[in-house]
Structure 1
Amino acid sequence: MENESLVIYVIVVLCLGAVLIMSKDKMPPRMKRGMALTAVIMIALAFVFIIYSLLT
């Protein structure tokens, strides 16, 4: 994976997490759970990609 695309992915995922945290009161409960789960998975993948890029 190229470093530029990794940096863009990490920035986008962290912004998504920040938007979800700031707008958590405006979402319906059913949608809130799905979006939070998606954000957690994407943030975890971002850290895995960062570790992978540091090791290779």
Structure 2
Amino acid sequence: MFNIFSFICNSFFFAKLPEAYAFFNPIVEIMPVIPLFFFLLAFVWQAAVSFR
């Protein structure tokens, strides 16, 4: 049976940039993690101001 979730994951994880943009590949791999840094920064900020 066709599993749409596995199809989406496979196409997402194995997609390649066009060769003209291949040098952006390391940046593109890190980009999904950036919002987590902002989430963690909110906790660090609140800890710095003693969770007011």
Q: Which has the higher helix share?
A: 1
**Smaller-chain TM-score range?**
0.3 to 0.5
Larger radius of gyration: 2
Q: Relative contact order (alpha carbons < 8 A, sep ≥ 6): 1 or 2 greater?
A: 1
Normalised by the length of structure 2, the TM-score is 0.34
TM-score (norm 1): 0.33
